[in-house]
Amino acid sequence: MPKIHPSAVVDPTAEIADDVTIGAYAVIEGGVKIGSGSVIGSHAIIHRYTSLGQGNFVDSFAALGGLPQDLKFDPRTVTYLRIGDFNTFREHVTISRATKPGTATTIGNKTYWMVGSHAGHDSAVDDGVILANNAAVAGHAHIGRKAILSANVLIHQFCWIGEMVMTQGNSGLSMHLPPYTMLADGINRVVGLNKVGIRRNPDFTEEDRRQIKEAFRITYRSGITMTKALAQMDACTDWGEPACRFREFVRKVLTAQPPYNRGLCPMRTRRADAAANGQGNCKLQIVN
């Protein structure tokens, strides 16, 4: 039998595995599913139509599966929040369910959500993502596997973040950010590759790392348009999967339709750094 504190409020229609622990004053609404080995902390709320896989930890005052923050949403609409296995949601994390009937906001496996982080309606957060304190992901955004969103990072709606991206605290994004790159303090400012993450990834060979660097060079340092860069990458028929995922991300951005046609984040330049430090006017180098 689940270990449920007497003060917790659990709807009788909720499906709760036998070894789940639910703390004091937690609220579990109807239509919820909680998998084996999960722990729901005191005062946490699991809203209706939310499902959690096994081994999840939900800390105090987190609210999962709440109504979308969308003025057009009809609360009677049946939508979902679907969460995988072995995720950690620390205090005050909030994640909204989706907006269109039958659709879901989705969270993968082994993600880690620090205090006050948020994901909006219809978003998707893949396996192994880390969101630091107060990182906020807007609706319809997609965060690729093993990306790291540092403290106070803001992701605009309809944006895509590639896998293994690293962001600096207090940065923001209103465009698409390709895999393996780094976002600097400021808005839409790519500074280079996430070299440490690439080097430490045991799944990458030295050739994979070389090819990723080449894909980045073609896209950001060759001085050609994004269309020509994609054509040049297409000519690299010997590339392995990691570099190909970078190339296909660029292709996806190039062919994106509204409202996803937001373009690829530009490369930060020295002139941009000077402007940010009050040393003159400049324009970012935008590859398109």
Give residue 153's pLDDT band: very low, low, confident or very high (50, 70, 90): very high
Rounded distance between C-alpha atoms, residue 3 and residue 257, angstroms: 49
Q: What is the DSSP string of 19-30?
A: T-EE-TT-EE-T
Does 285 fall in a domain? no
Kindly report the number of other CB atoms within 10 A of residue 75's CB atom: 6
Residue 143: pLDDT above 80?
Answer: yes
Is the peptide bond preceding residue 2 cis, with omega within 30 degrees of 0? Answer: no
pLDDT, tens digit, 9 for 90 and up, residues 16-71: 999 999 999 999 999 999 999 999 999 999 999 999 999 999 999 999 999 999 99
Residue 260: pLDDT above 60?
Answer: yes
Rounded distance between C-alpha atoms, residue 190 and residue 129, angstroms: 19
Question: Which comes out higher in pLDDT, residue 270 or 236?
Answer: 236
- Chain-wide mean pLDDT for the chain? 93
Same domain assignment for residues 169 and 240: no
Does 281 fall in a domain? no
Q: Which one of 198, 232, 248 terminates a domain?
A: 198
Residue 282: pLDDT above 80?
Answer: no
Same domain assignment for residues 78 and 100: yes
Same domain assignment for residues 23 and 63: yes
Same domain assignment for residues 192 and 226: no
Question: Which comes out higher in pLDDT, residue 158 or 272?
Answer: 158
Does 251 fall in a domain? yes
> Among candidates 284, 201, 204, 279, which has minimal Cα distance to 241?
204
Give residue 252's pLDDT band: very low, low, confident or very high (50, 70, 90): very high
Give residue 270's pLDDT band: very low, low, confident or very high (50, 70, 90): low
- pLDDT for the residue numbered 1: 87
Same domain assignment for residues 124 and 250: no
Residue 149: pLDDT above 90?
Answer: yes
pLDDT, tens digit, 9 for 90 and up, residues 225-243: 999 999 999 999 999 999 9
- Average confidence (pLDDT) over 160-183: 97
Does 172 fall in a domain? yes
Same domain assignment for residues 21 and 78: yes
Does 74 fall in a domain? yes
Same domain assignment for residues 114 and 134: yes
Q: What is the CATH number of the domain that holds 213?
A: 1.20.1180
Q: What is the CATH number of the domain that holds 99?
A: 2.160.10.10
Residue 188: pLDDT above 90?
Answer: yes
Same domain assignment for residues 136 and 239: no
Residue 281: pLDDT above 90?
Answer: no
Same domain assignment for residues 272 and 187: no
pLDDT, tens digit, 9 for 90 and up, residues 81-124: 999 999 999 999 999 999 999 999 999 999 999 999 999 999 99
- pLDDT for the residue numbered 224: 95
Q: Which one of 145, 178, 198 terminates a domain?
A: 198
Classify residue 235 by burial, with Cβ atoms within 10 Å: 0-12, 13-18, 19+.
Answer: exposed
Same domain assignment for residues 82 and 183: yes
- pLDDT for the residue numbered 280: 38
Does 41 fall in a domain? yes
Same domain assignment for residues 129 and 101: yes
Same domain assignment for residues 193 and 211: no
What residue numbers bound the domain in which 96 lies? 3-198
Tell me if residue 40 falls in helix, strand or coil. strand
The total of structural domains in the chain comes to 2
Q: Which one of 134, 166, 198 terminates a domain?
A: 198
